[in-house]
Amino acid sequence: MLVAGATLSLLAPVATQASDVVNLEEMNSYSRSRKKSSRLDSKTFINEVSEDIANLKGRIDGLEVRKNVFEAGGFSDTTTLDGKAVFALMGTDHSNVKTDGTDSLIAAYQYTMNLNSSFSGDDNLYVRLRSGNGQSSNFTTKTFGTYLSMGSGNTDILKVDKIWYTFPVGDDNTFYVGPKIENYYMHATTPSIYKPVTKQFTLGGNGAAYGASTKTGAGWAFNADNGFAVSSNVVSGNNGFLTNEQSTSWATQVGITKPQYSASLMVNQKYNGWEDEYFSTSQGHRRLVDGDAGAQTANSTNYGLRAWWRPLETGTATPSISLGYDLSNIDAAEVTGDIDETDAWFVGLNWADIFQADDRIGVAFGQPQTREDESVDPLAYEAYYEFKVNDSVTVTPTVFGGTDRNGTAGDDIFGTVLQTTFKF
């Protein structure tokens, strides 16, 4: 009986570790619960212990089956998840009195999750889930430059914000296709390395040439080992891809990138009134037929020059420099008054690791996309300091503004924003 009790005591922890219910009291009282036999032999123990062991084995096998079922329906090991949450507190002041709530202190958030899945090891399915409440006019006014990179019009709804699939062909070619994608995700050359706070300064000036919108798209990019790259992509309306009724952007880029510098040329042909407002005055983005009273259906050919340079070492007084210039030719045959041209320029400076590791100073300024008949020379600017509280939390105080920013003389703006970013 002592041997049987010891054997069962060793088996009890195994069953307990398997997270199945085993009545230890019944097992330990095995000898007490049975009638004592006046005659003991080897079969007395073998038969009873073998029966208990068989029961335990059956329970453990059942746990193993349930474990395998759980793993089969679990998260794929070829899918990765990362994300961030951004809190922002922002206030603006217009020189012209505003009664629409834009001159106020407003808080907002953005929450993003990025999912990347590979099925062959070289391809990638990208899905971005996003929510936020930055739909107020302070966070999303484009022609005053207050639209933040963290701005969101999702009104607290978590939705699929981007989704596309990429796959390689050979060593140098990459193809893209997706129902929710923007042109600039498919460019072969990075146009700017300036990291902006306001969305107007993304891509070296988010205007006529590089301005984009989330729609159905497809593209191709070629990247050679020597840094030369060329890409071409098309994005069109979600309700009728490449139809005459849908706005369409066909962007082709040629560039070269080295470790310390890059230069590129973009030609973006936009059809059926495609416009881009982030880096523009209230008139500069318009693509109208029959002048200001017409429909937004004119075509345009847009040219974008981009270049950037960075020092070999960070932590010095020498910043990285990003430059941009856009020229847009509107289809003059359809626009009254021969108003057929807009232009814009941008300069962005970044200093890294100045006061502590991984911090960043940013200064950007430029002229938004301005129509040739406008009588003012608008200017937009921003300046910020970004520092890490720890590896996952970053704080960025920023000032921004502009003179004659929306193309109206004397209509200036000044704003401040404090952003806190949590990465996971």
Tell me the pLDDT tens digit for each residue of 157-203.
899 999 999 999 999 999 999 999 999 999 999 999 999 999 999 99
Residue 99 DSSP SS3: coil
Q: Which of the given ranges, 14-18, 33-37, 271-275, has the highest pLDDT on average?
A: 271-275
Which whole number is the average pLDDT over 251-261?
98
**CB-based contact 85:111 (threshold 8 Å):** yes
Burial of residue 49 (CB within 10 Å: 0-12, 13-18, 19+) is: middle
Q: Which residues of 3-20 are buried (b: 16+ CB within 10 A; e: fewer)?
A: ebeeebeebeeebeebee
Neighbours of 76 (CB within 10 A): 9
Pairwise pLDDT comparison (156 vs 9), residue with the higher score: 156
Closest CA to 200 of 241, 159, 141: 141
Strand ranges in 133-247 using DSSP code E only, listed in sequence order: 159-169, 173-181, 215-223, 228-236
What residue type is 246 in one-letter code? Q
- CA 280/CA 284 separation, integer angstroms: 5
Angle made by CA atoms 207, 387, 88, in degrees to the nearest 5: 60
Domains of the chain (ranges, CATH numbers):
2-72 (no CATH), 79-423 (2.40.160.10)
Question: What letters, b where the CB count within 10 A reaches 16 and e where it falls short, cover 97-117?
Answer: eeeeebbeebebbbbbbbbee
Nearest Cα neighbor of 180 from 154, 167, 166, 161 is 161
Which residues pair with residue 351 across a beta bridge?
361
In the chain, what is the straight-line distance between the N-terminal and C-terminal CA atoms, in Å?
A: 57
Is the pLDDT confidence value at 396 over 90? yes
Provide the residue count of the chain.
424
What is the number of other CB atoms lying within 10 angstroms of the CB of residue 157? Answer: 11
Cβ atoms of 198 and 399 within 8 Å: the answer is no
Of 123 and 56, which is predicted with more confidence? 123
Query: What would the two tokens of residue 289 be?
Result: 């037929």
Sequence-distant (≥ 6) Cβ neighbours of residue 114 within 8 angstroms = 81, 82, 83, 126, 127, 128
CB 139 within 8 A of CB 147: yes
pLDDT score at 156:
85
Q: Supply 396's token pair.
A: 């960025």
* Residue-level pLDDT at 334: 52
Give the model confidence (pLDDT) of 17-35 as tens digits.
444 434 444 444 444 444 4
Q: Per DSSP, which regions of 121-200 are E strands?
A: 124-132, 159-169, 173-181
Nearest alpha-carbon partner for 142 in 102, 177, 114: 102
Asked if the model's pLDDT at residue 206 lies above 50, the reply is yes
List C-alpha distances in Å: 340 to 82, 174, 256, 291, 331. Answer: 44, 36, 31, 11, 7
In a 3-state reduction of DSSP, which class is residue 61? helix
Around 224, how many Cα atoms within 13 Å sit in the side-chain half-sphere?
8
Q: What is the structure's pLDDT at 54? A: 62
> In which element (H, E) is residue 44 found?
helix 42-72
Residue type, 112: T
Could you identify the residue written with the tokens 């990465």? Answer: 423
Q: What is the mean pLDDT of the chain?
A: 83
Q: What percent of the chain has pLDDT over 90?
A: 59
Alpha-carbon gap, residue 205 to 195, rounded angstroms: 12
User: What per-residue confidence (pLDDT) applies to 297?
Assistant: 83
36-60 pLDDT tens trace: 444 445 454 455 555 666 666 666 6
